[in-house]
Structure 1
Amino acid sequence: MAKYRVVYTQFWDDPKVVEEMTPEDKYLFLYLLTNKNTKQIGIYTITKKQMAFDTGYSQETIQSILERLINKHKLVKYNLDTREIAIKNWGKFNFIRGGKPVEDCVNAELEKVKDLELIRYVGEHIRNEKVRKLYESYTDSPFEWSKDGPDDQSIRDGLDDTSTLRGQKEKQKEKEKEEQLLNRQCGQVFDFYQHNFGVLSPFIAEEIGDSVEEFGEPLVMEAMKISLSVGKRNWRYTYGILKRWRDEQVKTMEDVWALEKEFEQRKKAPAMTEMRPNVPGIYQHNPSEGEDLP
């Protein structure tokens, strides 16, 4: 199963990256963020020999770069005994949304971590409260807020600027409302998928979440219902419908109905059909070249 990892483009504008990191530092750090050993929790097992093999560096060079990432840049920790590495800011960028599938995956992976201090190291920088609590449950004391932790850091630091505090509080509340709405919508779609399509893997859950964020819950649900109506019980077919809607600038259910009405009218007009013989309706998704639909 393919895995996807979040790397923000702002990485290249970060002063630490621009002014302090060598090209070798940047290369190895990006490798540590995206290699095939990475886990959902930002902690995983990897040997220096594997790093050297994948990057083309010698083990001595890997050791030197790794020491800079650990001691100078303070971006990772590495346990020589367990061969486990932890990415400090992993949770800030990879847990934008939560949800039961994500939380179940996190729980399963945290149980396999041998060095519990690495859980604390990553967990203290997680902004998503529910996921943060999961990490905290594997340690023997509560987390402390990190300096570069959640967006309301200035509030915890006790700034006296009332307008700044008010603006930050309102911004935080709006963000929490948006996350709650998205999680609620995703939960409804997840339930529908599990009842009608089958087991919901973390990867599919992530794709569904992204689709709900882009298209909205009504369109995702409608696309899933269309897939079921033609006997296609798989997410790839459903996403194919959504991609076509994207191309057709479909944004609401009214747009879906208008598109289908247009298709029905074309079927009744032979002359128009001859001009555009290969244009499908929403119930006739044409997979792109090379797309394998069960």
Structure 2
Amino acid sequence: MVRVDFWKNPIALEEMTPEDKYFYLYLLTNSNTTQIGIYRMTKKQMAFDLGYSIETVQSLMERFTLHHKLIRYNPITRELAIKNWGKDNLQKGGKPVMDCIKTELKDVEDTSLISYVAEAITKEEIRSLYESFCKQDGEKEISDQADDDTYPETECEELDDSFVPGDTVLGQQPGIENNPEIEDQTQDVKEIVEFWDNNGFGLSNINAKLQLLSWLEDSSFLQPKAVILKAMAIACANNKRKLNYIVGILKNWENESLLTIEEIDSYHENPRPVPKNKHSTESFPAGRAIPDEVNLDLSAGEDW
């Protein structure tokens, strides 16, 4: 539901561009929305519905995650959460509403998104229901760790205001065992994350890792894992271990239509020549040209 006071919201009035408003209204009203404000949606589907390119959708997602701070998105489970959904839409309780919320919360794989939406819910009864699912997940994780002492530890605190999944483990994302599409990507995810962690990009920078992993799905590369690893290797070689540097490399390759490792290697071995502007580099003598057949006596007319 979209409230009419959306148009009076200071963020919409002062900070959002017309494109931002269009995109946010789409997030609030598309056919995948749920009662709980958390739903699955791929960026490719967003691009198709809106008539945008994948790059435009990616840019808008980053803007709403990092600048407006109104959504969170898990690129592994493809789940999107809207921060103020509970404040705007969950004002009334009752058994039918609570049953619907409970059913939909059971389907959420990344439970950190449940906590994220719960923060803005004002009705105590509904917020408690959200929080109960977070507690259940925490108890399950502790039990799993007790059964297996080698189970990797997870990050327990939010590192910043951007998206940090509560139960993401190296190479082991939420709900993989129930999602064949994600299971196929498990090895790719593990290799990229291990390269990131082992080469000084920042062990605790989980949000940056997830943004980089989104290139596995949301790029035109035919060999996305290999291309991402190559870009990371170049960043290491240049001592530029930052996400924006890697993304810059990837965007340059996409702009040049270099979609495989072979094309990238060939391009760097034989870079395309840069055309020169003859008019800007060729020099001309000042004044009129003197014909070759003229014998010019520079001493004529001089008195010695």
TM-score scaled to structure 1, two decimals?
Answer: 0.45
Pair member with larger Rg: 2
Higher helix residue share: 1
